[in-house]
Copies of this chain bind each other. A is one copy, B any other.
């Protein structure tokens, strides 16, 4: 049986460690499978009992007659259970038991051994520390999550992969209360074998899944998840992620909770965007956004997105519109005098349904929002029914209902119309939709040759770093090496002088840099402080320009190669005014990044200042990003700071490169 079938629709399951005490968590899988009408065979495995909850129990999986597709392991002796699964030829084992990567270094080693053994035995693993798998249309409730105490949760087209087992219950129960159904829900636990990326691939190929939702605390395999996201995109299935670890505090908690790096949030943001994964800000948006994306493609608008709004409540509509504005989204209205169509003002006699259809057909907007006030609770015929009845086309339609109106939410869910409980989730979903990008195609331009005189291991001096930058195609400032005893050089003044050393990153912090040397006597005077012993001096032409930029590259341990551009000086740091993308980027993407740096207002001709050559800066960003294409990716981090941007060009005056094998490791 295929992995997907064994995982989501097994014909026979073994419950290893099934408890006969109904109140125990370990009794739940058996109770839930029966309660929700599992059609396959169930084999409780319990070494100390012949019978569990009225069903025959087996001492070991190997004692069961017939094939077993999926085992659910709930015992402490996971290793023993795995051996039995291997002997029995079980396709996949989901492991609820913990004490592996979730439990420090020893647990991590135990997990490594477990996975190695599972590979040898040919058993795929979900977990450890997994709450299991739910397949609603398939009536598979192979989980310990208490949510399945509920009767008949509705089935639907959204599937979820979660690093938190609890979240299966959260979305299922909240969805059920308002008619939002699910297809598959998977708790991945520690992802020792089956990870989020592979599950997204399986769901991309699953005919019942129409949208894929991710609840993430970390990203353990960025390459595989990127591949999964591409597969989902190719299959026309949007992927949406809610990811924790956006604050330092959240990062620390995710690390302590998952035993994995949480990852730098800005890097993950760039990663999701470039993988075509929609990232949402609010947890509830993850539940509610599905119908807004389902069956649609990334809008890729070249201008500010516009939403047309019809409402029966001014205040209710304003609560969404205000939030849309905060997220950079505008409104559009066929009524020139008002930004929205408010049926309590202006067009009082218009029918709600006619306005919804008018807006859906209105070419000035990219999406339509229908807001309904108190009537949504007790008088759905007034505004909810007209939304349901509206003739829809390709344009997204969403509803926000201000009162507690679960029945109306369910009606909208059944009709496949995105409906929101809060103005914030509604605006967040629109923002997610409009930010949604097609997975980026990497332009495989050649990175150029690695210069012969620059090592690929050990520490690089600034001179070597500048040589590497020049080889990549980054304009670097005219430089020369001046050596003892006379420190002669042929550069015209004014110049700057720096010590040449591989060990010092922030030379200016240790007094290793002298700027604005105006003449030879000035030079001789000023280099005294930095020319110690007979170390050589790096002499550079003083570059002047309109603005300073920082351009960086980092091979991130979580998401891989990234390129960064930001405002120079202390602005990047104080205001976090930097933009990141997965590397490599082409020049067009680099220019888009530059356009998002606020501090470059000066370069863009702000307040009549002369504009700078952003194209040249863009070329430098693209060039540095090509470090990602060098075989073996020897560079861990690289930074040109500052790059001086002038009216005619951009030039790097300071270069720093850290290799992965830098001699410290």
Contact = CB atoms under 8 A, between A and B. Distances in A.
A345 B102 CA distance: 8
Contact of A282 (B145, B326, B377, B422): B422
Given A246-B326, A318-B253, A377 B570 contact: no
Contacts of A146: 374-375, 377-379
A570 B378 contact: no
Interface in A572-601: 574-575, 577, 598-599, 601
Interface string A305-338: 0000000111111110111111000110000011
Contacts of A331: 249, 253
Contacts of A256: 337-339
Nearest to A609: B570
Interface string A216-254: 010000000000000000000000000011111110111
A414 interface: no
Nearest to A131: B374
B217 A318 contact: yes
A319 B247 contact: no
Nearest to A606: B570
A467 B65 CA distance: 99
A570 B403 contact: no
A82 B193 CA distance: 77
Contact of A315 (B162, B342, B424): B162
Contact of A166 (B167, B215, B244, B402): B402
Residue with the highest number of chain B CB atoms closer than 10 Å, among A150, A253, A282, A315 = A315
* A contact patch SS: helix
B313 A164 contact: yes
A607 interface: yes
A515 interface: no
Given A174-B403, A607-B570, A330 B244 contact: no
A149 B378 contact: yes
B250 A322 contact: yes
A509 interface: yes
Contacts of A403: 147, 169-170, 173-174
Contacts of A164: 313-316, 318
Contacts of A606: 570, 574
A602 interface: yes
A601 B570 contact: yes
Contacts of A314: 164, 166, 217, 257
A318 B147 contact: no
A176 interface: yes
A210 B450 CA distance: 72
The winner among A246, A248, A319 for most chain B CB atoms within 10 A is: A319
Interface string A390-430: 00000000000011110000000000000000111000000
A247 B402 contact: no
Contacts of A191: none
28 contacts: A102-B345, A146-B379, A149-B377, A164-B315, A165-B315, A166-B373, A167-B316, A170-B374, A170-B403, A173-B403, A246-B322, A247-B323, A249-B324, A249-B325, A249-B330, A249-B331, A250-B318, A250-B325, A252-B339, A253-B317, A253-B318, A253-B339, A257-B318, A282-B424, A570-B606, A570-B607, A574-B606, A575-B577
Given A147-B377, A165-B315, A169-B402, 16 more contacts: A150-B378, A164-B314, A164-B318, A167-B316, A167-B402, A174-B404, A217-B318, A244-B318, A245-B322, A246-B326, A249-B322, A253-B317, A256-B339, A283-B319, A509-B608, A574-B606
